[in-house]
Amino acid sequence: MSSQPPDPLAAVDALLAAVESGRLLPAPAERVRLREAAGLTRAAVAQALGVRIPSIEAWEEGRAEPKPERLQAYRRLLEGLAERYPAPSAAPSPVPAPVAVSAPAPAPAPAPAPSHPAHPPAAADAGAPGPVRTSRPAAPRRPAAAKAPGIGPADAAGRDPRFPHGPLVVLDGDGSAHGVDGIVLDCPAATVAELVEWALRDAGLGAPRLNRNGKDSDPLVVLTASAAVRLGLPQRLEGPEERRSLRLAPDHPVVKQIAKAKWQLTRRGFGPWPRIYRTAARGSARQCVQLAVLSWDALDPRAWPGVAEMPPADIARVLGVYAQRVITPRGSTAVSGLELMTALRPPTKAVQEKGAWVPGHNPGSLGTEPMDPAPPEATEEHPVVVHSGWTGGFLNEEAYNWVRDPSLLTDEECLLPYAVGLDLNTAFLAASARLTVGLSAPDHFHHPVFNKKIPGCWLADLSHIESDPRLPSPFTPDGTRPTGPAWYQTHTLAYAAELGHEVHPVEAYLRRETGAYLDPWHDRLKTAYLDTLTDLGVTDGLTDAEFLEAMAHHKQGDPAMAAVLAAIKATVKGGIGKLRERPQGRAYRGGERWPALERPTWRPDIRAAVIAKARVNMHRKLANMVQLTGLYPLAVLSDCVVYPSRGPSPMDFLPYTPAGEPQAGGFRLGRTPGLAKPEGVQEMSWVVDLMEKGFNPARHIKGGDAVLDEGE
């Protein structure tokens, strides 16, 4: 980290003469131009401002804005550079993105980025939205300065003028298209092909790219059951083949109609989330529309509780907030979680080659080509395993599922009246922060010297390490002691070294090119999670007692925002799970490639790194709780842990200082990812009975035979 100067303003004054203060920051691309025109490196700017180089990168990519204490200094630098290096008259500077001096938005919408040099924009009138045809008065827009419930600061500051009606609409059977902020557009389309044309030409829908090297989000049109019928679609998928494949048959009239109009469907066909597009000629605007059919279960109730049954205007509000804070949905929350990774770390950027702009590799991304894993990182049906005859074992980095042996319960523990469950907030998201992962192909090494800074998998024997049987082993998902050599992800071996044990791998698959690929993904989802909790009344700065009270009622006040919160958590879990998507379908045979393998984001090693770090974080807290309180857990399931307690509240057993402050190291209550919230409470006798029957009480601690949403 760069050393921080005594006064950031003085350091900036050393780079340029003082200029008058303004209230705007230029667009991200202009920030890059000004710095490069002056010959300044990001390191020099970071040194002057007293921040890390990744902060400068985030500001220049539009992923974040300076905090108040750095905003004035950074603005002064840019204004001084603009005086010295004005933009060429033939290429005026982009319109600056407004930034409030008092407090920047927690998740600012990226300013409109200039078109990708390799794909110049079409004629000015080609992509501009035409007049919106209305047969009824549209609901009035909320004033830009008045923040609507659940709508973030980016909306209050105004939308991208290319997309005046937001990212999506929900179409009802009478042609009413309900958008964000309560607007209602009239959609005259009578067929799916006409709907696609309307969405691209007249509706003014879409969302700006999340990274200046990425692509704008395509319009999303959500179809209610009545709208689907109006467009010639079945209200429900009919016939055994359609229900099995979750898509219309290729000879369905709507599919034929789409082809006749010169539109195409992706390989997924016309299912609950069909994408309809035309291949764009070089230099022409992208033509693609995403649909979602509600009556075909496009919105999984586990990820979007109750949303499909809401009125269209409320559905538009829920999906609109999610689109603004996370990404415009492209499918399930798992698909959206994966798409968000790519949107924030695009695989390519425009580079000059022989005087022409061409797509080139974007450093820090996963690239455009799929990459085969090392055999121990793969699954048993993967081609690299089947065709090589690999028998050397597999990496087994999974979340905890452990129950303490009931015979190890003490009389004192059994006599306590309660068992209380604690759940770590978005534990996988917390584990992805500042996580170094491999970006290149794995290389094979024999007898390597262990290095905790190199991501990969290592073959080592940890069976000699003894651990307290009242705690799960940190090295296995079921918490049992290892029985011999096994493959471990870097974080697991690093934790063994942290505990004071010698680590001597005999073999390893390591990656030479590394980076914090998931950092922007973590930052955006963390901000979305915290902003949504704030909307639900779980704000920052609450005492533990106030936090418990807020969490007890946070889902009752606003079902729409509660659904957004559930979707954000499902996006985290599903996105990580998609990194190792398994083959589907009864016709699959081991050794065959399946569609997910053709994605650069099929990366089981990255998934293993996240889960290993999350499990290590959990064990570290469990061990610290023993030191701070003498308490041992009864059970652990993923990010949920159950403790015996003298009272029904987590505050009855969590460690506090004499002054009443939470002690560091153990579990702490709070809303931030990685901190804990109550999961449930039951009588101790009930929990002991489950343990003796071989069940994990963490799975049922909520009561009502509820099952924990593992991996939240």
**Residue 208 and residue 305 share a domain:** yes
**Residue 158 and residue 281 share a domain:** yes
pLDDT tens digits for range 574-632 = 999 999 999 988 889 999 999 999 999 999 999 999 999 999 999 999 999 999 999 99
Tokens of 587: 């016709």
**Residue 174 and residue 81 share a domain:** no
- 98 in helix, strand or coil? strand
Domain boundary among 331, 364, 381: 331
Q: Please give the tally of structural domains in the chain.
A: 2
Query: Could you tell me where the beta strands, DSSP code E, fall in 328-450?
Result: 348-353, 356-361, 401-403, 418-424, 437-438, 442-446
- Half-sphere exposure of 512 toward its Cβ, with a 13 Å CA cutoff? 4
Percent of the chain with pLDDT over 90: 70
Asked if residue 421 belongs to a domain, the reply is: no
**Residue 190 and residue 274 share a domain:** yes
Mean pLDDT of the region 563-572? 98
**Residue 387, CA distances (Å) to 122, 383, 390, 587 in order:** 48, 6, 8, 19
Q: 640-645 and 418-424 as β-strands: parallel, antiparallel, unpaired?
A: antiparallel
Mean pLDDT of the region 62-71? 80
Nearest to 640 by CA among 404, 422, 474: 422
Residues 87 and 23: beta-carbon distance below 8 Å: no
Residues 460 and 368: beta-carbon distance below 8 Å: no
**Residue 267 and residue 157 share a domain:** yes
Residues 557 and 565: beta-carbon distance below 8 Å: no
DSSP β-bridge partners for residue 191: none
What is the pTM assigned to this prediction? 0.78
Asked if residue 245 belongs to a domain, the reply is: yes
- Give the integer Cα–Cα distance in Å for 499 and 493: 10
**Residue 73 and residue 206 share a domain:** no
Burial class (CB in 10 A: 0-12, 13-18, 19+), 598: exposed
| Single-letter amino acid code for the residue at 328 | T
- Give the integer Cα–Cα distance in Å for 168 and 96: 25
pLDDT confidence bin for 142, thresholds 50/70/90:
very low
Residues 296 and 236: beta-carbon distance below 8 Å: yes
Neighbours of 637 (CB within 10 A): 24
Domain boundary among 299, 331, 363: 331
Asked if residue 147 belongs to a domain, the reply is: no
| Dihedral over Cα of 602, 606, 608, 614: its sign | negative
**Residue 196 and residue 88 share a domain:** no
**Residue 184 and residue 38 share a domain:** no
Which domain covers residue 190, as residue numbers?
153-331
Q: What is the DSSP string of 542-601?
A: --HHHHHHHHHHTTTS-HHHHHHHHHHHHHHHHHHHHTTPPP-STT--TTS--GGGGSTT
Question: Looking at per-residue confidence, does 260 or 117 come out higher?
Answer: 260
- Give the integer Cα–Cα distance in Å for 152 and 108: 8
Domain boundary among 267, 300, 331: 331
* CATH number for 36: 1.10.260
**Residue 303 and residue 172 share a domain:** yes
Q: Report CA 25 to chain centroid distance, whole Å.
A: 27
Q: 507-511 and 442-446 as β-strands: parallel, antiparallel, unpaired?
A: antiparallel
pLDDT at residue number 74: 87
Asked if residue 16 belongs to a domain, the reply is: yes
| Dihedral over Cα of 372, 377, 378, 380: its sign | positive
pLDDT confidence bin for 172, thresholds 50/70/90:
very high
pLDDT at residue number 564: 98
Asked if residue 393 belongs to a domain, the reply is: no
Per residue, the 3-state secondary structure of 336-356, as one string, reads HHHHHHHHHCCCEEEEEECCE
Please state, rounded to an integer, the average pLDDT across all residues of the chain.
86
Asked if residue 210 belongs to a domain, the reply is: yes
Q: Is the pLDDT of residue 129 over 90?
A: no
pLDDT tens digits for range 102-116 = 333 334 444 443 334
**Residue 313 and residue 206 share a domain:** yes
Q: Is the pLDDT of residue 128 over 60?
A: no
Asked if residue 195 belongs to a domain, the reply is: yes
Asked if residue 178 belongs to a domain, the reply is: yes
pLDDT at residue number 283: 61
Neighbours of 409 (CB within 10 A): 19
Q: Is the pLDDT of residue 52 over 90?
A: no
**Residue 161 and residue 269 share a domain:** yes
**Residue 289 and residue 204 share a domain:** yes
pLDDT at residue number 23: 53
Mean pLDDT of the region 658-671? 94
Mean pLDDT of the region 408-432? 96
